Amino acid sequence: MTAETAQAGGAETRGFQAEVKQLLHLMIHSLYSNREIFLRELVSNASDAADKLRFEAIGNPALLEQDTALAIRVACDPEAGTVSVSDNGIGMSRDDVVQQLGTIARSGTAEFLSSLSGDQQQDARLIGQFGVGFYSAFIVAHRVEVYTRRAGLPADQGVHWVSDGEGEFTVSGIERPERGTTVVLHLRDDAKEFAEDLRGRTLIRKYSDHIAFPVLMPPAAPAEGDDAPAEEAVNTARALWTRPRTEIQDDEYLEFYKHIAHDFEDPLIWSHNRVEGKREYTSLLYLPARPPFDLWNRDAPRGVKLYVQRVFIMDDAEQFLPLYLRFIRGVVDSGDLSLNVSRELLQQDANVDAMRSALTKRALDMLSKLAKNEPEKYQQFWDGFGRVLKEGPAEDPDNRDKIAGLLRFATTATDTETETAEQSLADYIGRKPADQDQIYYITADSFAAAKSSPHLEVFRKKGIEVLLLSDPIDEWLMGHLGEYDGVPLRDVRRGKLAFDGESAKEDAEAPAPGEHDALLERIRTHFGERLAEVRATDRLTESAACLALGEYDMGEQMRKIMAATGQPLPDSKPVLEINPGHALVSRLAAETDEQRFGDLAEVLFDQAQLADGRQLADPAAFVQRLNRLLLDLGA
């Protein structure tokens, strides 16, 4: 070590962050059968580093020094049993190295890691979704060395990092004239095959052909003579999205996706488009197969990779797609934006707004196409991301109808024990009789509660289909949708039901008006101000009582959401509907003892609340009343 390098910082050994140790351990174990992906990950990082340098050099050309031809070099050395990946990209400072190669910065990582099961196949998939990046080197290497220097720092500010992946790493300052990073893998005995030149070449063609920088290797067969090239490009080295669609193989699209999305799994579908004319841009959007572990984390990175005239500008540009499409990954390359564009500027740019609405339509069209052509894949998408898409009608009213067509629901028409949300609103409309002029739905806390709700009794009897909604945001969603294809959506709990004009058969048992007035009046007197109304039901056939909502009352799901977020609840009273045909209601009508009449009426009311998933204001009183009635029975 020279005096200068000692100045740059002596050797220092540090422990990995606990999450890194855990990830390394799990990864080596579960990705063993996929281990060749390490090369793709390292080349992908090298390409990102070159992108970043090119971006920073827009404002500071001196960073390029004399070395302007950005490239990635891969060298295999079978004798030493090593493979190395070098780039002349942005490089890392000592602080960068300690931070980037010693910790994982994503929030929620610890929870994610502890959720892994120990099942090799399943964990491999999950870890793949998490993205393993640099650490994948340890799947094949027993020791990894990194030599790097941050662009713009002097040669004596180079850094050497070494680790055996067991829990610690050592960093020290070195002299490094060349900018950028070299990663050297000392291969494990059972992974020496990766030190073969041909193996490396094949893997790069397979996984990294789309990388926009040349990936250089020594020529396969050294040519004779003085002008024989010292190295040759192994890949096509053209940004994939700039090539015509017809010339790109599916495999290339798939590999490119893995590079930009850090995902191991194939996407479900993609859409590649070039727009020319007033605005010029190219977009390549992908739909991932599975949600990332931090889909519900508000701060999780989202958005597309932004390029301007092929120069990488930023990751996670959020301005190009709405929040409810945050699962879409991809690249946008604009011909119109300035190379100096920043996140702040993107927010005010009219070009960006126009691109955002066009990309939103593209993404929705891509989903429609998948739904139409590959319903099984669409179902997979829906199961993973449906709840995110449900945010759409509220966030983006302009596209409400398009989004509504993409929603899927469980319904009473598919008689399943467990929830299968796979019916579209168009399916419902296609099945309903021509004279039924509403789409009926019920919301509840769970699928089981929705399915067995007393509110569905009359619908079953009349053979009318009802959507079964049990997602906490469904009531809110339905409020924003309002209708589909001109047919209003109707909560079965709301108002008085009117089946007139619908194909439902006349109901011979329906009570004649006025027949139960005396009983209803007695119940009203008992409850007084606590209820908005008491009336004979047209909803129930088997149950004794249920609660109905006023036309504009807030439903139970919304009340729960408001209560959970500490907002004041609007004061609305329920309507109690009783079924005069029910034996308990006949008992009630015949009851002369006022105390027993009161107990029975209260129990009916509380039962109706329970069936609606509400909480009783005074559960102990309910139990006491019920017990009094049960004891009377025995007497």
The site for ligand ADP (CB under 6 A) is made up of: 45-46, 49, 87, 89-92, 100-101, 131, 133-135, 181, 262
Nearer of residues 35 and 614 to ligand ADP, judged by Cβ: 35
Structural tokens at position 165: 């992946």
Nearer of residues 105 and 518 to ligand ADP, judged by Cβ: 105
Nearer of residues 144 and 547 to ligand ADP, judged by Cβ: 144
The CA distance from 556 to 615, in Å, is 10
Neighbours of 69 (CB within 10 A): 9
Cβ 239 to ligand ADP shortest distance, Å: 19
334 phi and psi, to 5 degrees?
-100, 140
The CA distance from 13 to 9, in Å, is 12
**How far from 199 is each of 75, 154, 207, 324, 333, CA to CA, in Å?**
11, 36, 12, 42, 33
Nearer of residues 237 and 589 to ligand ADP, judged by Cβ: 237
Type and span of the H or E element at 273: strand 269-275
Nearer of residues 134 and 499 to ligand ADP, judged by Cβ: 134
Query: Which residue is nearest to ligand ADP, using beta carbons?
Result: 133
Cβ 180 to ligand ADP shortest distance, Å: 7
Cβ 215 to ligand ADP shortest distance, Å: 13
Nearer of residues 100 and 453 to ligand ADP, judged by Cβ: 100
Nearer of residues 137 and 355 to ligand ADP, judged by Cβ: 137
Cβ 146 to ligand ADP shortest distance, Å: 8
Nearer of residues 181 and 579 to ligand ADP, judged by Cβ: 181
Query: Of 201, 168, 174, 250, nearest to 43 (Cα)?
Result: 201
Cβ 211 to ligand ADP shortest distance, Å: 13
Cβ 89 to ligand ADP shortest distance, Å: 5
Neighbours of 296 (CB within 10 A): 11
Cβ 131 to ligand ADP shortest distance, Å: 5
CB 288 within 8 A of CB 329: yes
Nearer of residues 45 and 541 to ligand ADP, judged by Cβ: 45
CB 246 within 8 A of CB 272: no
Q: Classify 332 as helix, strand or coil.
A: strand
Mark residue 100 as left, alpha or beta (left: phi above 0; alpha: psi -120 to 50; beta: remaining): alpha
Type and span of the H or E element at 546: strand 545-548
Largest CA distance in the chain: 116
The CA distance from 93 to 268, in Å, is 39
Per-position DSSP letters for 590-626, written without gaps between them: H---HHHHHHHHHHHHHHHHHHTTPPPS-HHHHHHHH
Cβ 402 to ligand ADP shortest distance, Å: 33
The CA distance from 500 to 516, in Å, is 22
Cβ 86 to ligand ADP shortest distance, Å: 8
Amino acid at 388: V
Nearer of residues 70 and 203 to ligand ADP, judged by Cβ: 70
Cβ 46 to ligand ADP shortest distance, Å: 5
